[in-house]
Amino acid sequence: MMGRLEMQENLFYRFRIEDHVPQDHLLRRIDWLLDFDAIRAELAALYSHTGRPSVDPELMLRMLLIGYLHGIRSERRLVEEVHLNLAYRWFCKLGLEGRVPDRSTFSKNRHGRFADGDVLRRLFENVVEKCIGFGIVGGTDAAIDGSTIEADANRDRRDAPDAVQKIWSQKDQVQRPVADYLAQLADVDGAAQSGPKRKSPKYISETDPEAAWSLKDGRGRFSYETNYLVDTDHGIIMDVEATPARLSQEIVAAKAMLARCKERHDFRPDRVAADGSYGTGPFLAWLLKREVTPHVPVLDRQHQTKGKYDLSHFQYDPERDSYTCLEGHEMPLRRIKQAGPGQKLLRRMTCPPRNPSS
């Protein structure tokens, strides 16, 4: 006989949420590694000593971890998922009846109090310290790399820096990313910049100026770069640094991660592996000075000619001040611009036209 589903409400339920979260669940495997005692002490200075008790900061940090681990980018959806999902409720210690914080409260703390206190980095470093304590960090070999992440910025709302600055000046109020960007510019105004020199950006976004205009993945878009320092024994990520998606910032991030890991975890790898974008002379010299052996291809832009001949393919005659091409033709240097006072003389090589019969 075919059964029929009938909903029957019990007056009392005997339910234990602990029994309904599998032992191999990702959140259960992570939960025992977390220790919020030290972070709670750091956060105490950011809260007032009077007034009503706030939402427990540990609850909001646990919610943030759920969002990162399960790819939930929307704060509104994160609040809804934590309210409905038993495993999420267990991880956040809410039980069946615990109230999930309102989205606005969650967002305000995330972009305000947590950002000022650098809490998320301290939580990350706490997990790294536990990995070191368990002996799964070798400490001798490391790798550095970066991944491009598309920014949440309309590619069509872009312009030259001066034009965008003019647009912002005409608005009564700008968005939070823009305000943070302008405040950062004011802080570093006149300060020495670290890392290789770079040109001013061709485009910046009107809504997310920290993002860099990138052509790395095909069609131009605004992007960020997440840079990782990884211990290669068990693939433990030792440090992370987010930067705009600019090639010059990768080396800046690599130096920052290596220096920070040395200071906070005494992590001093003997060898570092990276791709060719890190193979600049100054960075390789920086590693060797610190007795770190680089396993990095040398970035030699002089010979990156895309199939064209470079200067090394031509023979120079200092007496005649001319070059000889591969086919034996003399290529005298001739003046193409009259040099003014204090200017260098501009010259170029000219090659005789090829003989069609040859």
Tens-digit pLDDT profile for residues 181-194:
666 655 555 444 54
The pLDDT assigned to 191 comes to: 45
The pLDDT assigned to 208 comes to: 81
CA 316 → CA 245, 312, 313, distances in Å? 41, 9, 10
- Give the number of residues written for the chain: 358
Strands (E), 182-288: 204-205, 212-214, 221-231, 236-244, 271-273
Region 88-94 average pLDDT: 94
- Distance of alpha carbon 104 from alpha carbon 349, whole angstroms: 66
Region 57-84 average pLDDT: 90
Condensed to tens digits (0 to 9), the pLDDT of residues 152-173 reads 888 887 777 777 676 667 676 6
The pLDDT assigned to 150 comes to: 87
The pLDDT assigned to 170 comes to: 61
Region 57-79 average pLDDT: 89
Task: Give which of 133, 351, 317 is closest to 236, Cα–Cα.
Answer: 133
User: 142 pairs with which residues across the strands?
Assistant: 231, 272
Burial of 45 by CB count in 10 Å (0-12 exposed, 13-18 middle, 19+ buried)?
A: exposed
Place of tokens 């990156």: 304
Region 121-150 average pLDDT: 90
Is pLDDT above 50 for 207? yes
The pLDDT assigned to 263 comes to: 93
Is pLDDT above 80 for 244? yes
Is pLDDT above 70 for 178? no
Q: Is the pLDDT higher at 42 or at 341? A: 42
Query: Helices 103-111 and 57-69 sit at what angle, rounded to 10 degrees?
Result: 90
Is pLDDT above 50 for 228? yes
Q: Is the pLDDT higher at 176 or at 246? A: 246
- Extract the tokens encoding 7: 């909903």
**Which of the four pLDDT bands, split at 50, 70 and 90, describes residue 346?**
very low
Q: Is the pLDDT higher at 25 or at 331? A: 25
The pLDDT assigned to 50 comes to: 84
Q: Is the pLDDT higher at 352 or at 64? A: 64
Is pLDDT above 70 for 275? yes
Query: Helices 247-265 and 281-289 sit at what angle, rounded to 10 degrees?
Result: 10
* Of 240-254, 319-333, 341-355, minimum mean pLDDT range: 341-355
Place of tokens 């008790």: 53
8 A C-beta contact, residue 288 and residue 296: no
Is pLDDT above 70 for 267? yes
Is pLDDT above 50 for 139? yes
8 A C-beta contact, residue 170 and residue 178: no
| Mean residue pLDDT across the chain | 80
Region 209-216 average pLDDT: 82
Q: pLDDT > 90: what percent of the chain? A: 28
Is pLDDT above 80 for 29? yes
Q: pLDDT > 70: what percent of the chain? A: 77
**Which of the four pLDDT bands, split at 50, 70 and 90, describes residue 338?**
low
8 A C-beta contact, residue 132 and residue 265: yes
Give the range with max mean pLDDT: 3-7, 234-238, 348-352. Answer: 234-238
8 A C-beta contact, residue 147 and residue 225: yes
**Which of the four pLDDT bands, split at 50, 70 and 90, describes residue 333?**
low
